[in-house]
Amino acid sequence: MAAKRAHHPMHIKRRTRGSSNEISFSVLDAAREARDAEERDRREGGSGGPSLFTLGKGKKPRPTPVKGQSIVLSGEAPASPSASSSAVDRKMRGIVPVFVVVCALLVITLVGGQALMSMREQQKSLLDTLNDQVDIIKSCDESLLLFDELVIEQCDAKRLSPSATGDAAPSAEALNEGYRAVVAEIAPMRAQLEDSIASMETLQSSLSDNDDKEAASQVVTAARSRLNMLDAGVSIIDESMMATEAFLKARSGWNAVINADAAIREATALAEEMSKENILASQAKGNEALAFLEEAQQDFSQAEAAYPSLDLAAFKAYVAKRIESQQAALAADEAYLSRNKEELEAQNSRYNALEEEAAALAQKLGENDPEQIVALRFYEEIEADQGAYEAERLKAGNADAFLREYLGTAS
């Protein structure tokens, strides 16, 4: 039994001071001395002498302990059957609190480690998700950059200008071609950006770290700003497509008016010296002027049809009056050739009256020609969308800058 305890993990260690081990050694020494004294008494005087170890008056002397019996100090009540077992019990009572503390520390460490691991996994998952969404936004930007360039071109104040000629002149064909190059990508871009917003808004609810929440929020901002850019940009391009066609028609119509006016002046000059040859030449110029005026009237009507918010009624009224006056001039020429003096005088009077009315209408046109009217209308119509587009473009740029810094730091 003693041999087994000697190899037990909690056996008495050497060089212990003030512990239960040291107390157990003292008890064993006392027991050994008591046993030796009793043996000497038996040899010297028999069993009738008093015992050296008595527990008190009227009590039988303590018998010499046998193997396996507990040995305690004088005055203590008997405890467990084995002194070594009692010592181990006392030792265990000292070890248990330490063991509990160690276990608690291990649990805390384990829980803390798991929490840290969970945080790291969450952070890695967040970074993976952020990177995935940023990659989606980048892929959208490949088409969005072309779209952005097209929108910026439409907002250029010099694009729709009477001075925009040659290579700088607006082209409806070029605009349509540029729009076709990006319009097919708009619907897929919109779907991808909307998916990114939904994904990040779902992720935001599970985040606790403020920096992570802000990063997720910036992804939402980056995607939503691009969606808003698409909305405002499409509106600007649609407006520009209508305005560009109207601008070109208005330019063509106004040029026709100018050409008609020049032809009318020539016809009037030829009619000043009345002869058959001059009247015939004047008549030819009058018909040329009339064709220009009818062309202008058609162009102005087409400009209004292309751009419903455009109003060229004043220019159409002026042209209509010039058409009437020119018809009167041609009738007068015909009367001269037919030698109908009364008709000639009547048509000349009618022509002069109509020209006066046309001059009064011309005064109401103001300083702006039809091209400028279209341009002013267009820039007024896109003002709100242009402001929104620029604001969303700035938001997207700021969100992109934040995400570049965040991902660069977190990686």
Q: What per-residue confidence (pLDDT) applies to 94?
A: 57
pLDDT in the model for residue 189: 92
pLDDT band at 220 (very low <50, low <70, confident <90, very high): very high
Q: Are 84 and 5 in contact (CB under 8 A)?
A: yes
* pLDDT value, residue 102: 57
Residue-wise pLDDT for 349-407, tens only, equals 999 999 999 999 999 998 889 999 999 999 999 999 999 999 999 999 999 999 988 88
Q: Residue 223 has which token pair?
A: 């995607």
18 vs 160, higher pLDDT:
160
CA 74 to CA 210: how far, in whole Å?
70
What is the model's pLDDT at position 132?
Answer: 86
For 302, the token pair is 């087409």
Taking the C-alpha atoms of residue 142 and residue 27, their distance in angstroms, rounded to an integer, is 90
Token pair 């109207």 in the structure block, residue: 246
- Give whole-number Cα distances, 359 to 77, 257, 272, 319, 346, in Å: 137, 13, 21, 11, 20
> 274: which 2 tokens?
């009345």
Which tens digits make up the pLDDT trace of 31-48?
456 556 666 655 555 444
One-letter amino acid at 294 equals E
